Amino acid sequence: MAGQFSGTPIYILREGSQRTAGRDAQRSNIMAAKAVAGAVRTTLGPLGMDKMLVDTLGDVVITNDGVTILKEMDIEHPAAKMMVEIAKTQDQEVGDGTTTAVVLAGELLKQAEALLEQDIHPTVIAAGYRAASEKSMEILRSSAVRISAKDEDLLRKIAITAMSGKGSQSARDELAVMAVGAVRSVVDEDGTVDTDNITVVKKVGGGINDSLLVSGVVIDKDRLHPSMPKSVTDARIALLNAAVEIEKTEVDAKIQITSPDQLQAFLDQEETMLKDMVDRIAASGANVLFEQKGIDDLAQHFLAKAGIYTVRRVKKSDMEKLARATGGRIITSIHEISKDDLGKAGLVEERKVSDEKMTFVEQCVNPKSVSIILRGGSEHVVDELARAMEDAMRVVGVALEDKMLVPGGGAPEVELALRLRAFASTVGGREQLAIEAFADAMEVIPKTLAENAGLDQIDSLVALRSAHEKGQKSSGLGIDTGKPVDMLKLGVVEPIRVKTQAINSATETAVMILRIDDVIASKSGSGAPGGMPGGMGGMGGMGGEDFE
Ligand code: ADP
Ligand code: MG
């Protein structure tokens, strides 16, 4: 194992560790990062393509959502993983702009490569990039448009822009109305938005236009027994995270039953216990029961007799939503149940949505709880709708929090490029080159939008540049014509945070990757980076590590 002792080299690393240093390390990191950006760039913009992702189990996801694509890909290269992190952060912080952020980072690195070739030190590039990024924040803020919760129309446009490329036009309009309605009902006076108050119920079947926004909580389950009331007004709601069943004993006890009487006695005893449980629930004053675990058949019968609207096996997340909406407390033991734990709602009712029965909990104590029922022809459609909806709600929320929006369609990026070039000339020296490279990198967004729309990149960019030179700050790419269009008038708008976050994290990551001049990868059977066992066959060969 100890290797050959033929020469005099001193090994400080375990045999098999891989080390690349200097320009080689930079080159391979940049290449990997660019590859990640290249993988998502064709999805950018309203005319971007979709990707079909198949996981190891054969499950299929069809999406053009940057972060979804990158999360599903089995990426192993450490620098490439840093790119994936950009998308994840963007998704957490904003909920949109994931592709933009990754494409920007890729382009920043590509531009840096050219500077490295000219022997400009990474430290200088890093300083220039950071200065340019800071300046960008300033420029973006100075040209942003103010927005408030009252600007319903603008908020809808923000939602529609975020959903561009997802679903049909009419679906987007519909979803935007719901997203804005939902978010506006959960926003606080100080502008903070808590999307935890919004329940999204996915339901396959029907069309997208059958989707609806309901105030209150919708649980995708019907009542347990047909003889329970179908509708309860002035509901007092018990939330129970315990089974209404006889606990099976741990020990495998055998009971010898020797006569029919004994059997009857035994059954009677079980019945009494269940009856007792239901009595306790009823005694608390509850007329509705949401239960997370199982309910014995016999108990169902007693609950029906007691007139308690019961839903069983409610998801944990739904229980939490119910608790929040109704002001109830989730109880873990039937013995604990008391009047004070009950939640309240004006109406609990079973209703049919198309052909499916669901439970609607309306007029809740907490008026800030709303639900959205998403309908669509297939699971893939509904899943993609849910992702679109999630994005829409997030951007509307973010816009309300920051109260600022910017035009889309590459307008801010072209404006930034223009203003950063002017800024660069005031800086001078080698850093100027880095700032100019940063400015050039910004233009990858309008260029890629043009490319994905089947337009000529250069022509489109030249036209946009000249519009901005004339002071048309909100000029973006008209994707049908390739001509500059006022994006504010067209209604293609985004919350400012989509851009500030994307630029910030793209810059930070590009700088971080640039500053690495040594990659030392330990060899250890299972500790390989990303060590997911049994990864995709196709990728397995890449590391070149044998198991023998
Ligand atoms: P991301 O993951 O970065 O959000 P998208 O595929 O959603 O990627 O594309 C976002 C880009 O598309 C933004 O630059 C946005 O301004 C632009 N965009 C969206 N709708 C339009 C439109 N109708 N016309 C031109 N550009 C648009
Ligand atoms: Mg988007």
The secondary structure of 157-168, three-state, reads HHHHHHCCCCCC
Q: What is the 320 CA–ligand 2 centroid distance (Å)?
A: 30
**Three-state DSSP state, 200:** strand
User: What DSSP line would sit under 412-435, residue for residue?
Assistant: HHHHHHHHHHHHHHHH-HHHHHHH
Q: How far apart are CA 63 and CA 50, in angstroms?
A: 5
* pLDDT above 70 (res 338): yes
Q: How far apart are CA 349 and CA 360, in angstroms?
A: 5
What is the residue-averaged pLDDT of the chain?
87
195-209, 276-290, 408-422, 526-540: least confidently modelled range: 526-540
pLDDT at 54: 81
> What average pLDDT score do residues 463-485 get?
96
pLDDT at 546: 36
94-108, 162-176, 318-332: least confidently modelled range: 162-176
Q: Which atom of ligand 1 is nearest to the CA of 65?
A: 2
CA of 88: how far to CAs of 93, 385, 510, in Å?
Answer: 9, 20, 16
Q: How far apart are CA 66 and CA 392, in angstroms?
A: 15
In terms of CATH, what superfamily is 148-215+371-402?
TCP-1-like chaperonin intermediate domain (3.30.260.10)
- Read off the pLDDT band of 355 (50, 70, 90): confident
Closest CA to 379 of 71, 62, 64, 67: 62
Q: How far apart are CA 184 and CA 395, in angstroms?
A: 12
* pLDDT above 60 (res 538): no
99 a catalytic residue: yes
Bridge pairing between strands 330-331 and 231-240: parallel
User: What DSSP line would sit under 67-134, residue for residue?
Assistant: HHHHHHS----HHHHHHHHHHHHHHHHTSS-HHHHHHHHHHHHHHHHHHHHTT--HHHHHHHHHHHHH
User: What DSSP line would sit under 16-83, residue for residue?
Assistant: T-EEEEHHHHHHHHHHHHHHHHHHHHTT-STTPPPEEEE-TT--EEEE--HHHHHHHS----HHHHHH
| pLDDT tens digits for range 359-410 | 999 999 888 889 999 988 888 888 888 888 888 999 999 999 999 999 999 9
| Ligand 1 atom 7: residue of nearest CA | 45
Q: In the chain, which residues fall in CATH 1.10.560.10?
A: 18-145+407-521
Positive or negative CA dihedral for 413, 418, 419, 420?
A: positive
* pLDDT above 60 (res 532): no
Beta-bridge mates of residue 122: none
**Residue 168 burial (CB count, 10 A):** 10
349 residue type, one letter: E
Which residue among 91, 96, 341, 391 is the active-site one? 391
Closest CA to 91 of 100, 82, 104: 100
Q: In the chain, which residues fall in CATH 3.30.260.10?
A: 148-215+371-402
pLDDT at 548: 33
Q: Which atom of ligand 1 is nearest to the CA of 413?
A: 14
CA dihedral 317, 318, 322, 323 (to 10 degrees): -20
Share of the chain above pLDDT 70, in %: 92
391 a catalytic residue: yes
Q: What is the 499 CA–ligand 1 centroid distance (Å)?
A: 11
Instruction: Report long-range pairs for 246-252 (Cβ below 8 Å, ≥24 apart).
Output: 246/270, 246/273, 246/274, 246/296
**Which ligand is located closest to the Cα atom of residue 87?**
1
pLDDT at 547: 36
* pLDDT above 70 (res 249): no
> What average pLDDT score do residues 125-134 get?
97
Instruction: Scan for tokens 């023998």, then name that residue.
Output: 548
Closest CA to 365 of 337, 323, 332: 323
Classify residue 97 as left (phi > 0), alpha (psi -120 to 50) or beta. Answer: left
> What is the 8-class DSSP label of residue 542?
G
Residues in the chain: 548
| Ligand 1 atom 16: residue of nearest CA | 408
- CATH hierarchy code of domain 218-366: 3.50.7.10
* pLDDT above 90 (res 61): no
pLDDT at 498: 96
Q: In the chain, which residues fall in CATH 3.50.7.10?
A: 218-366
pLDDT at 332: 93
Phi, psi of 243 (to 5 degrees): -80, 145
Phi, psi of 150 (to 5 degrees): -75, -20
Q: What is the 162 CA–ligand 2 centroid distance (Å)?
A: 4
**Which ligand is located closest to the Cα atom of residue 442?**
1
- Read off the pLDDT band of 168 (50, 70, 90): low
DSSP H or E segment with residue 154: helix 152-162
| Ligand 1 atom 3: residue of nearest CA | 97
- Read off the pLDDT band of 253 (50, 70, 90): low
Q: What is the 450 CA–ligand 1 centroid distance (Å)?
A: 11
**Which ligand is located closest to the Cα atom of residue 101?**
1
Most confident range (mean pLDDT) of 52-61, 441-450, 521-530 is: 441-450
Residue to probe by mutation, ligand 1, list 67, 100, 103, 480, most atoms within 8 Å of CB: 100
pLDDT at 248: 65
pLDDT at 169: 67
Q: What is the 491 CA–ligand 2 centroid distance (Å)?
A: 15
Q: Do 450 and 482 contact (CB within 8 A), yes or no?
A: yes
- What angle separates helix 122-142 from helix 411-427, to the nearest 10 degrees? 120
| Ligand 1 atom 11: residue of nearest CA | 45
Please, which residues have CB within 8 angstroms of residue 513's CB and are 6 or more apart in sequence? 29, 30, 33, 79, 82, 109
Pocket of ligand 1 (CB under 6 A): 43-46, 48, 64, 66, 96-100, 161, 164-165, 408-410, 445, 449, 476-477, 479, 492, 494
* pLDDT above 70 (res 187): yes
Classify residue 16 as left (phi > 0), alpha (psi -120 to 50) or beta. Answer: left
pLDDT at 427: 92
* pLDDT above 60 (res 326): yes
Q: How far apart are CA 161 and CA 498, in angstroms?
A: 12
- Read off the pLDDT band of 167 (50, 70, 90): low
* pLDDT above 50 (res 529): no
Q: What is the pTM (predicted TM-score) of this model?
A: 0.79
* pLDDT above 60 (res 331): yes
| pLDDT tens digits for range 14-37 | 777 777 777 888 888 999 999 999
103-117, 264-278, 472-486, 503-517: least confidently modelled range: 264-278
Q: How far apart are CA 372 and CA 178, in angstroms?
A: 7
**Side-chain-facing half-sphere of 422: CA atoms under 13 Å:** 9
pLDDT at 6: 61
In terms of CATH, what superfamily is 18-145+407-521?
GroEL-like equatorial domain (1.10.560.10)
pLDDT at 4: 54
pLDDT at 5: 55
Q: How far apart are CA 384 and CA 64, in angstroms?
A: 9
189-193, 337-341, 349-353, 359-363: least confidently modelled range: 189-193
Q: What is the 99 CA–ligand 1 centroid distance (Å)?
A: 9
* pLDDT above 50 (res 494): yes
| Ligand 1 atom 9: residue of nearest CA | 45
Phi, psi of 149 (to 5 degrees): -60, -20
pLDDT at 7: 67
| Of residues 347 and 378, more confidently modeled | 347
Please, which residues have CB within 8 angstroms of residue 185's CB and are 6 or more apart in sequence? 215, 367, 368, 370
Which residue among 68, 99, 100, 500 is the active-site one? 99
Largest CA distance in the chain: 101
Residue to probe by mutation, ligand 1, list 71, 161, 416, 499, most atoms within 8 Å of CB: 161
**Residue 455 burial (CB count, 10 A):** 21
Closest CA to 343 of 219, 484, 183, 221: 219
Beta-bridge mates of residue 518: 21
